[in-house]
Amino acid sequence: MEKRIAVLVSGGGTNLQALIDAEKSGIIKNGRISLVISNVKGAYALERAEKAGIKTETVIKKELGSQQAFEDKIISLLTENGIDLIVLAGFMSILSEEFTKTYPHRIINVHPSLIPSFCGKGFYGLHVHEAALAKGVKVTGATVHFVNEIPDGGEIILQKAVEIKEGDTPEILQKRVMVEAEWNILPEVVSLFCQDKLTVANNIVHIGE
Known catalytic residues are 111
- Residue 66's contacts (CB-CB under 8 Å, 6 or more residues apart) are none
DSSP line for the chain: -PEEEEEEESS--HHHHHHHHHHHTT-S-SEEEEEEEESSTT-HHHHHHHHTT-EEEE--HHHH-SHHHHHHHHHHHHHHTT-SEEEESS--SPPPHHHHHHSTT-EEEEESS-TTTT-STT--THHHHHHHHHHT-SEEEEEEEE--SSTT-SPEEEEEEEE--TT--HHHHHHHHIIIIIHHHHHHHHHHHHTT-EEEETTEEEE--
Using CA atoms, how far apart are residues 208 and 202, in angstroms rounded to an integer? 16
